[in-house]
């Protein structure tokens, strides 16, 4: 067992490098199933989720080599067998292999997916898309089975702009016969990145990153060397670290447009930014004001930054309101924050926050991935010592987070107990 121990009160300074986006890397790794040629991915964070999906592909007879921050993959020997149920349950993104497996083999059987317990994330929109492309779907005994002779293009309207469903349908449609149009598609940067990866291999995808995506099916995808986009959520977490510790730091590896919803909200708080191409200097040394946030699908404020933003708002004098519209259980970190002295009241999907002068370190838990990041952030400024348990959640989305914070001057370490 491990935990992260943070001693508060240290100012941050220096610079930090951001890894590739986990939420881009996972679907891109799944998409390698669509090609029988060599693929090399660069600047890849060796996160638990990345290792899980790599192990999943290795278990399906893929040649896969991990070295430093690179992954080499060749799926030419891939076999169409039932995927390992334990690995699928361990990480929700494993379900993203269903689209490419259907496209390549016309068959896939997976156990129902798992992941962070932050709310309902049904797979019905994924299955709706596969059905529209001609697949026969059967669900029972904890499994989903899909089969088809060959997928055929169709017009698909998503009831909600689901990121996972959009990605899965894109991957299924790339090798389908004819034209597929996805309407009300998710617009996240990671959708654009997946399409850019596939197009670089020979796919014909237009409109990714907008609400309407058109895919012309092709017969073959080639090999490629590719670097996914930077992780906007990791970058955002470090932006808030500068704000919460009243510090000034430089963050290397950002796309300002991908982070615009967060940057503008932090500016409203009183945080200053100097954008320098793929880097940004974040100055959190000035006075701060409370703000209200409401999570929405991109380009709205990201739900994956809500817990970290709440950690900052807890320490800003005045009243703030946080409304969570994406996941119904994404306030589990509130109980941990109140243990440290935060004043937060919950009414349904809305949190009412009264800023306090200080928080006090204690034992807390990472109730999910982004909540764990929020616990580290408040630990940086809390009086005394904060001990964070269940850090396996954190390791699913941040590579060497304690080392990166130590590089900025934080008093933080990972210990075994």
Does the pLDDT at position 114 exceed 60? no
Give the pLDDT of residue 144: 87
For residues 180-201, give the mean pLDDT: 98
pLDDT of 88 over the 80 cut:
no
Instruction: Report whether pLDDT(84) > 70.
Output: no
* Residue scoring higher pLDDT (83 or 36): 36
Structure confidence at residue 341 as a pLDDT band (50, 70, 90): very high
Per-residue confidence (pLDDT) for residue 94, from 0 to 100 = 76
The more confident residue out of 128 and 140 is 128
Angle at 52 between CA 49 and CA 58, to 5 degrees: 145
Average pLDDT over residues 326-335: 90
pLDDT for 76 equals 97
Looking at every residue in the chain, the average pLDDT score rounds to 94
Q: What is the pLDDT of residues 360-416, one digit of tens each?
A: 999 999 999 999 999 999 999 999 999 999 999 999 899 999 999 999 999 999 999
Query: Residues at the annotated binding site for UDP-N-acetyl-alpha-D-glucosamine?
Result: 92, 121-125, 304, 326
* Superfamily name and number for 2-19+230-416: Enolpyruvate transferase domain (3.65.10.10)
In the prediction, which pLDDT does 81 show?
67
At 80 the pLDDT is: 80
Q: What are the tokens at 383?
A: 């009086």
Q: What is the pLDDT of residue 61?
A: 92
Burial of 1 (0-12, 13-18, 19+ CB in 10 A): exposed
Which residues, 6+ apart, have CB-to-CB distance to 402 below 8 Å?
4, 376, 412, 413, 414
Q: Please compute the mean of the pLDDT values over residues 293-301 and round it to a whole number.
A: 96
Mean pLDDT over 298-313 rounds to: 97
CATH of domain 22-226: 3.65.10.10
- What are the start and end residues of each CATH 3.65.10.10 domain in the chain? 2-19+230-416, 22-226
Strands 70-74 and 107-111 turn out to be unpaired
Please classify residue 14 by burial: count the beta carbons closer than 10 Å to its beta carbon, then call 0-12 exposed, 13-18 middle and 19+ buried.
exposed
Residue 328 has a pLDDT of: 81
Catalytic residues: 116
The two structure tokens encoding residue 390: 């269940």
Residue 124 DSSP SS3: helix
Residues in the annotated binding site for phosphoenolpyruvate: 22-23
């Amino acid at each position: 067992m491990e935990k992260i121990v943070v001693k508060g009160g240290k100012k941050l300074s220096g610079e930090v490098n951001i890894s590739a986006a986990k939420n881009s890397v996972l679907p891109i790794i799944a998409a390698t199933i669509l090609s029988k040629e060599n693929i090399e991915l660069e600047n890849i964070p060796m996160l638990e989720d990345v290792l899980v999906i790599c192990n999943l592909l290795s278990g399906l007879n893929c040649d896969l080599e991990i070295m430093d921050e690179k992954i080499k993959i060749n799926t030419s020997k891939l076999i169409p067998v039932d995927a390992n149920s334990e690995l699928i349950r361990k990480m929700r993104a494993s379900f993203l292999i269903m689209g490419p497996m259907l496209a390549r083999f016309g068959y896939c059987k997976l156990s129902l997916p798992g992941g962070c317990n932050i709310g309902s994330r049904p797979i019905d929109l994924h299955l709706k898309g596969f059905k529209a492309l001609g697949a026969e779907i059967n669900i029972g005994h904890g499994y989903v089975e899909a089969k088809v002779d060959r997928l055929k293009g169709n017009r698909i309207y998503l009831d909600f702009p689901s990121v996972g469903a959009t990605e899965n349908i894109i991957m299924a449609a790339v090798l389908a016969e004819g034209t597929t149009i996805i309407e009300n598609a998710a617009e996240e940067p990671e959708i654009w990145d997946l399409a850019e990866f596939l197009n670089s291999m020979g796919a014909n995808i237009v409109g990714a990153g907008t609400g309407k995506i058109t895919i012309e099916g092709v017969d073959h995808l080639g090999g490629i060397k590719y670097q996914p986009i930077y992780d906007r959520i990791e970058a955002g977490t470090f932006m808030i670290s500068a704000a919460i510790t009243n510090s000034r730091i430089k963050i290397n590896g950002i796309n300002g447009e991908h982070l615009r919803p967060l940057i503008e909200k932090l500016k409203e708080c009183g945080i200053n930014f100097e954008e320098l191409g793929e880097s940004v200097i974040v100055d959190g040394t000035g006075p701060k004001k409370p703000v209200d946030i409401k999570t929405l699908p991109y380009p709205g404020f990201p739900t994956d930054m809500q817990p970290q933003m709440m950690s900052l708002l807890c320490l800003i004098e005045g009243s703030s309101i946080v409304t969570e519209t994406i996941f119904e259980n994404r306030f589990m970190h509130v109980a941990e924050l109140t243990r440290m002295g935060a004043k937060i009241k919950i009414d349904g999907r809305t949190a009412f926050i009264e800023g306090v002068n200080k928080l006090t370190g204690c034992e807390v838990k990472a109730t999910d991935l982004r909540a764990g990041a929020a616990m580290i952030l408040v630990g940086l400024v809390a009086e005394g010592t904060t001990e964070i348990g269940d850090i396996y959640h954190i390791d699913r989305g941040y590579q060497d987070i304690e080392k990166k914070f130590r590089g900025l001057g934080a008093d933080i370490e990972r210990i075994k107990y």
